[in-house]
Structure 1
Amino acid sequence: MPLPHWTSEHVLPPGRHPADLSDLYERFVWDAPHRNEREILFSALSGYLGVVCRLIPSGRAWLSGSLTVRSAEVPYDVDVVLVPDEWGTLKRLDGPARATFYGMFTLRGVIAEQPAMYLDQVQPVSGLVDGFLCHPGDEDVWEAVWSRGPVPGTVKGFAEVSW
């Protein structure tokens, strides 16, 4: 089912809208300005979701960020919150799978050694993706955050990819 058309505020209508990768491409890349920059973000998102699907047997990804808004400004990232269907599968990840999984998420206030440095934020895919994990019972909190429009007090919709 294709994503709905942009509203007059250049966002998706309120609500959670099921989509697949071709739907995302049509609305967020093809039907928006700055197509070249959007192609790069879409490629980062596609690769990110490909890795996620290998690690998490089933779940949903909710999408937000500048890629998901039809703006005259150049988009700079896509925000993804992962909502696993079965939390226990994450606890059973081991070795390389666990290391890969933890590398999929945005970290804030990071102190690194060798060489020693402080980083405000570390993001997957060279900063093109902001990745977050929804813990069981926090879906309403994330839905409220993802529904905030670009202008304070406005509401927007967001895309949901299931696998």
Structure 2
Amino acid sequence: MPLPYWTPDNVLPPGRHPADLSDLYERFVWDAPHRNEREVLFSALSGYLGVVGGLIPSGRAWIAGEITVRSENVPRDVDVLLIPDDWGSLKRLTGPAREALYGMLTLNGVIAEQPAMYLDRVRPMSGLLDGFLCRPGDEDAWEPTWARGPRHGMFKGFAEVTW
């Protein structure tokens, strides 16, 4: 099912909209300004979801961020909220798979030992993407953030990809 058209405010209509990668490409890359920059963000998102799908057997991803707004400003990022169907499958990850999953998440206030440094924020995909993890059942806590529009008091929709 294709994503709905942009509203007069250049956002998706409020709500959660089911989509697949081709729907995301059509609305967020093809049907928006700054296509070259959006292509880069879409490639990061596509690769990200491919890796996540190999780590988490099934789930949903909510897609938001600057790529989901039709603006004359160059979009800088994509926000992704991962909602696994089975939280226990994450607990069972070990070794490289567990490390890969943590590498797919945005981390704040990170201290690295070798070389020793403090980083305010570590983001996947060279900073093109923010990735967050939601325990199934906690979506209500995240939805207001994903539905917040680019201007104060504005609400917008977001895409939901299922794998």
Please state which band the TM-score falls in when normalised by the shorter chain. over 0.9
The question of 1:27 aligning with 2:27 is answered yes
Secondary structure of the residue that 1:4 maps to in structure 2?
coil
Q: Determine if contact 2:58/2:84 at 8 Å carries over to the other structure.
A: yes
User: CA deviation digits over 1:74-116, x for unaligned, max 9?
Assistant: 0000000001111111111111111101111000111222222
CA positional deviation for 1:137: 2.9
TM-score normalised over the length of structure 2: 0.98
Q: Determine if contact 2:85/2:136 at 8 Å carries over to the other structure.
A: no
TM-score normalised over the length of structure 1: 0.98
Structure 1 runs not aligned, ≥5 long:
none
Q: How far apart, CA to CA, are the structure 2 residues paired with 1:118 and 1:52?
A: 27
Q: How far apart, CA to CA, are the structure 1 residues paired with 2:46 and 2:140?
A: 25
CA positional deviation for 1:41: 0.2
The question of 1:86 aligning with 2:86 is answered yes
Amino acid in structure 2 at the alignment position of 1:99: E
* Identical counterparts, % of pairs: 77
Secondary structure of the residue that 2:2 maps to in structure 1?
coil
Secondary structure of the residue that 1:8 maps to in structure 2?
coil
- 1:71-150, aligned counterparts within 5 Å? 71-150=71-150
Amino acid in structure 2 at the alignment position of 1:128: L
Q: How far apart, CA to CA, are the structure 1 residues paired with 2:50 and 2:2?
A: 20
RMSD over aligned CA atoms reads: 0.8
Q: Which residue of 2 aligns with 1:15?
A: 15
Structure 2 runs not aligned, ≥5 long:
none
